Amino acid sequence: MSEPLPHLIIIVDEFAELKAEQPEFMKELISAARIGRSLGVHLILATQKPSGQVNEQIWSNSRFKLCLKVQSQEDSNEVLKSPLAAEIKEPGRAYLQVGNNEIFELFQSAYSGAPEKSDDTKVKEFSIYQFTNFGKRLPVYIQKKKKSDGDNVTQLDAIVSYVSKYCEKNNLSKLPDICLPSLKTVIEYSNDFHDELTVPVGVYDDPDNQLQETFGINIFSENTIIIGSTMTGKTNLLQLIIRGAADNFSPNEVTMYIVDFASMVLKNFEKLKHVGGVVVSNEDEKLKNLFKLLNEEIAIRKEKLLTAGVSNFIAYKEAGNIDLPQIVLLIDNLTALKELYFAEDDFLLPICRDGISVGVSVIIANSQTSGIGYKYFSNINQRIAFTCNDPSEYHSVFEHCKMQPENLPGRCLIQREKVIYEAQTFISFEGEKEFERVQEISKFIEEINENHTSSAKKIPVVPELLLSSMLQEEYNVASDTNKLIIGLDFANVTPVGLDYAHQDVLAITGSYMDSKYNFINYLKSSFASLGPEMYVLDDYSGMFGDISDDNNVLLYSKNIEDIDEMLINLKNNLVERYAARDMYGIATLEKMKPIILIINAIDAIGYISENKIVLETYKEIVKKYKNLKSLILFTNVENETIAYSSPEVLKMMKDNYQFIVFEDLNAVKIFDCPMSLLKKFKTTIKDNEAYFLSGNDLKKIKTVLR
């Protein structure tokens, strides 16, 4: 024979507020009031103002009515059909009505908030004293009645404690809670979550359905924005996304790029094979290269989707194509990024707008919504809000949001199917101190990298030192006798060459002497290996003295007057080449060695300009005998303004615009620089960096070291 079911008592305090905030529960309560009593389900409802709040069916099925002091006779009449309760003055006094006045009594309810009293009435207080030789009384033993443990322990607390201990002693199990427990404040990371499009990041609480489940962030078909004040859990959530993506997908499936303008702790993930690069606030060129890479990738993917005949990236993957990974761009501190780099052009907004359809998603973390703008929010469907200093932020993130998350690290609000829930994110990596968490990140990266052979496509980056040995190994530069690679272009990280066949005159200037000296040494060693014919007019320092005896040096001198002979010999050589080209065609030039006149003497420009015969020879070489695989290289030109009174050679340089300048662009005087270029290249150049001006094309380059 089965045991009888226990009676179930439902107690609802402030019934009117429940009705206003959760009207969907009214049907359930009315049903419980109507048929619950026969099933052993009983209701106890409490409210301050019964008029208009209690349903007629509840009144008709309520046999017991208890009314304490109320403000008006109308409230007393509503409950008791009598105005007596409005006349009560003493706290705790009430009228009890059973049925239709079967019982109608005035009584005084007990007060359970009084301090607990111990049963020590039989204990007598006394003291035992000892008398010293001087008649002083010293207490030896004192017995007093036991005092209460404290005013905080009430009779109600004592009763609850006694009942609890009694139940434990008699093995009476506690009834199951009607609600799930509150979300934990600390939840360890768990990857026990199966969804092809999302990565697990935490647990959300759905009290209406008594449900607590893991939730994730969709990194394939939605952009995401994360808002929250400092130290609330934004960076931890970004780390969770990185960890979840690396745990569940290979680098061929998901590639991540990170822009960290906040704590820079995300820099620790740079060695992860899933990560193509991490950009921090002082890496201007790397940031530009990242956005250029993403824009080029979006253009390529649009063409591939068009060729495949599908409308979006998910359909492209469903068709069996596995050649393109999902690209996830994570940005920590969008406000700083916009202030530093998006003053004129916003490179990120087009990626947010066009990226999702081609498999490029964006995840943004920021401390506030102000300054982001509706254009971003209109392209972001997935939104998360941690604790914010300004409560209006929740209304900006979620429309008509009345909730606020508890002020705990990792506690946030999320939205699922247009319903807002409170959630708690996982701890991304264990460790009480930051260095312990960094160690855990390093271990995680090692474990993940061991399981994968492929890597994400890296952000093109100009190295701190560009050695000549790196050109062939890392940039696939083949040896070419007609072209010398002098550096890497910062704009696209591609080699920049000095073409002997078309670069007739080149001047090197600038005040960064060490960088300039290193570059000239590289030129010397390169010329020695490539073997062009050379004339060298050196200065008193003898910088080129170490190559004076090389077989390919036709004439080396420190005497300024020897420039006459060098120019005449160079002209005669070019005359022969000019005639050979006319007779046998341009292909004959390919068989000839380049010929270079190196002028390192700083006073050579003035000497050539002041001697008419020498100047005419120079002009004839520069103007008539062009494109004959020859180069006049001025290695020591002063950075000064070229005016009407300047030497003729300098004025000819200004007309040709062929310079390598080891100088900040705002300090360049030797040529006029437009304001647009000054804004574009406003940063100070570093060691072994220079500007290469050829015609109207200005490039910032990292020069090669030998």
Please report, in angstroms and rounded to a whole number, the separation of the first and last CA atoms in the chain.
Answer: 96
* Alpha helices by DSSP H, 227-380: 234-248, 284-308, 313-318, 334-341, 348-354, 374-377
Task: Report residue 617: phi and psi, to 5°.
Answer: -60, -45
User: Please, are residues 559 and 603 in contact by the beta-carbon 8 Å criterion?
Assistant: no
198-450 and 468-703 share one fold: yes
pLDDT tens-digit map of 639-674: 888 888 889 988 888 777 789 999 999 898 888 888
Q: What are the residue ranges spanned by the domains of the chain?
A: 8-108, 116-174, 198-450, 468-703
For the domain spanning 8-108, the CATH number is 3.40.50.300
CATH topology of domain 198-450: Rossmann fold (3.40.50)
Distances (CA, A) of 526 to 522, 592, 688: 6, 18, 17
In terms of phi and psi (left: phi > 0; alpha: psi -120 to 50; beta: otherwise), the region of 331 is: beta
Superfamily of domain 468-703 in CATH is P-loop containing nucleotide triphosphate hydrolases (3.40.50.300)
Q: What is the largest CA-CA distance in the chain?
A: 140
Burial of 402 (0-12, 13-18, 19+ CB in 10 A): exposed
Tokens of 23: 């009207």
| CA 108/CA 85 separation, integer angstroms | 13
DSSP string, 494-505: EEEEEETTT--E
Three-state SS string across 93-105, please? EEEEEECCCCEEE
List the chain residues with pLDDT less than 70: 1-3, 18-21, 23-24, 117-122, 145-151, 479-481, 501
CA-closest candidate to residue 302, choices 360, 255, 254, 253:
360
Contact 564, 616 (CB under 8 A): no
Which pLDDT value is given to residue 122?
A: 67
Of 220, 215, 264, 214, nearest to 239 by C-alpha is 264
Q: Which residues contact 485 (CB under 8 A, 6 or more apart)?
A: 471, 477, 495, 496, 497, 498, 704
Tokens 């359970």 appear where?
112
For 343-366, the pLDDT digits (tens) are 777 889 999 999 999 999 999 999
Contact in structure between 537 and 664 (CB atoms under 8 Å): no
Res 205: pLDDT: 93
Task: Give the position of tokens 């959630």.
Answer: 423
Distance CA 360, CA 254 (A): 10
Angle between helices 234-248 and 434-450 (to 10 degrees): 20
